[in-house]
Structures are given as C-alpha cells and as structure tokens.
C-alpha cells in the first residue's frame, strides 16, 4: 500500500484532487459572498425607500424584521411594494401576510 501512495501517479492524482477541492471551495465561497452582498444591498435599498417615504428609523421594529429576511426574491418584492404602497401600515400588512 505504501508503494502505491509513493508512486508518481498516485501523488499526481492526490495533488489534482486537492487542487480541485480548493478551487471548488474558492468558487463556492465567492458565490456565497456575491449572494450575501446582493442580500445586504436589497435590505439597504428597501430600508432607504421606507426611510424616505415613511421616515422609518433604524430603531423601528420593522427594520429588525427586514434585516432578518434571508430570501433575496422576497426582499426584492418588498422593495417594489415599498415604492407603491400608500402607507407604512399597508407595507407592514404585506410583511405580516408573507410570514
């Protein structure tokens, strides 16, 4: 068994496997970073709209609820809704309905 591990072919294959695993890990980390950045941006955009339209402050409980949302698509939908709703109460009703 030791002879197999010491063979150039085995060493090459082992190195290739390690390099491939590292590359996959890096790619996965980059994808997760991009996704997390998109989520953070969506949260900030949504909170900006609510702050501009309805004077929603950082201490408002809605802010914490919005920051807890993980789903990027839901954040985008809420952003569009925040632009169109008549009042903060109407937005809160939409937020409550989705939970």
In this prediction the pTM is 0.69
Tell me how far apart the terminal alpha carbons of the chain are, to the nearest angstrom: 58
| Angstrom distance (rounded) from CA 42 to CA 77 | 10
Provide mean pLDDT across the span 82-96: 94
| Angstrom distance (rounded) from CA 76 to CA 43 | 9
User: pLDDT digit string (tens) for 9-62?
Assistant: 666 666 766 767 777 777 776 777 667 889 999 999 999 999 999 998 888 999
Longest dimension (CA), the chain: 75
Provide mean pLDDT across the span 71-84: 95
Distances (CA, A) of 35 to 9, 21, 28, 48: 39, 21, 11, 20
Tell whether the model's pLDDT for residue 5 goes beyond 70: no
The owner of tokens 């991009």 is 34
């Amino acid at each position: 068994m030791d002879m197999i591990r010491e063979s150039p072919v085995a060493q090459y294959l082992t190195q290739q496997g390690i390099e491939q695993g590292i590359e996959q890990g890096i790619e996965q980390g980059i994808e997760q970073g991009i996704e997390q950045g998109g989520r953070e941006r969506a949260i900030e955009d949504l909170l900006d709209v609510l702050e501009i339209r309805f004077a929603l402050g950082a201490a408002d409980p809605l802010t914490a609820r919005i920051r807890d949302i993980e789903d990027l698509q839901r954040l985008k939908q809420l952003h569009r809704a925040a632009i169109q709703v008549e009042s903060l109460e109407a937005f809160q009703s939409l937020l409550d309905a989705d939970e």
